[in-house]
Amino acid sequence: SFGLMDKAYFVGRGEILSWVNATLQLSLNKVEEAASGAVQCQLLDMVHPGLVPMHKVNFDAKTEYDMIQNYKILQDVFNKLRIGKNIEVNKLVKGRPLDNLEFLQWLKRYCDSVNGGIMNENYNPVERRSKGCKERSHKGPNKSSKSLQANRLSSANSADGASPIGKVCNAVNEEHYMEQIQQLSEKIADLKVSVDNTEKERDFYFSKLRDIEILCQRPELEHLPMTKGIRKILYAADAKDSSLPEANEIITRSPGMFSVSDEAE
């Protein structure tokens, strides 16, 4: 396991996408495109060849049901490797950018810890994916894919009654709105990452200040001028004005603080 302040969780979205695309020879544009769990399965297949049943991994998964099947495969591999990482499947399959980014950040850290960050030159990601797709295609389409096709056909049939001009206008409006939604989604994802990193940094420095406070409360230290100065800064109520001058004054005017230097002079 890796702590919240581990460097893994400060790797940016662009770097994660570049790593995934270079490692598996993909062309992902957004981290949420890996929400199906297939990418994560193949990343483990790369560092642990033969352990992941790639013929069961569905790279065309679109429904939550199909995605969950991929994560079941991933969980089985975790169990075999005795990896205690909790896979939050319910969040990941929703395609939330931050959740998928954090999981890929963790996975990159894990892969780097196994192979030292060096890519396996003997691993052919395209060939491994194609073999899995061929084996699954022999079994025929599943029920979920049939239902998707039926929905598409029904949608197409219902649109046939519209006029040609209406179809064109609807298509233009839909494309325009989709572009706006995509732009806003990317901005929201960036803001979520920024807020998350800020909260982690806040918690890190708060824990440091809390350690200092506990140290200053020790009976043998709390009466010392230096401790009083530190507590003056810690408990300052006004955030605008600095308490450093008052803390310096407490230390300076305390008897015996500079007796050694005075004697030297």
Predicted local confidence at residue 195, as pLDDT: 77
Domain ranges of the chain: 7-123, 182-253
* 105-119-51-86 Cα dihedral, nearest 10 degrees: -10
Predicted local confidence at residue 22, as pLDDT: 93
Q: How many angstroms separate the first and last alpha carbons of the chain?
A: 56
Predicted local confidence at residue 34, as pLDDT: 95
Predicted local confidence at residue 141, as pLDDT: 46
pLDDT < 50 positions in the chain: 140-148, 150-156, 158-159, 260-265
Alpha helices of the chain — where are they, by DSSP H? 13-24, 38-47, 64-81, 89-92, 97-115, 125-137, 143-159, 164-216, 225-234, 244-252, 259-264
Predicted local confidence at residue 159, as pLDDT: 47
Q: Do domains 7-123 and 182-253 have the same CATH topology?
A: no
Predicted local confidence at residue 148, as pLDDT: 47
Domain range 7-123, CATH architecture: Orthogonal Bundle (1.10)
Predicted local confidence at residue 263, as pLDDT: 44
The CATH class of the 182-253 domain is: mainly alpha
Predicted local confidence at residue 1, as pLDDT: 53
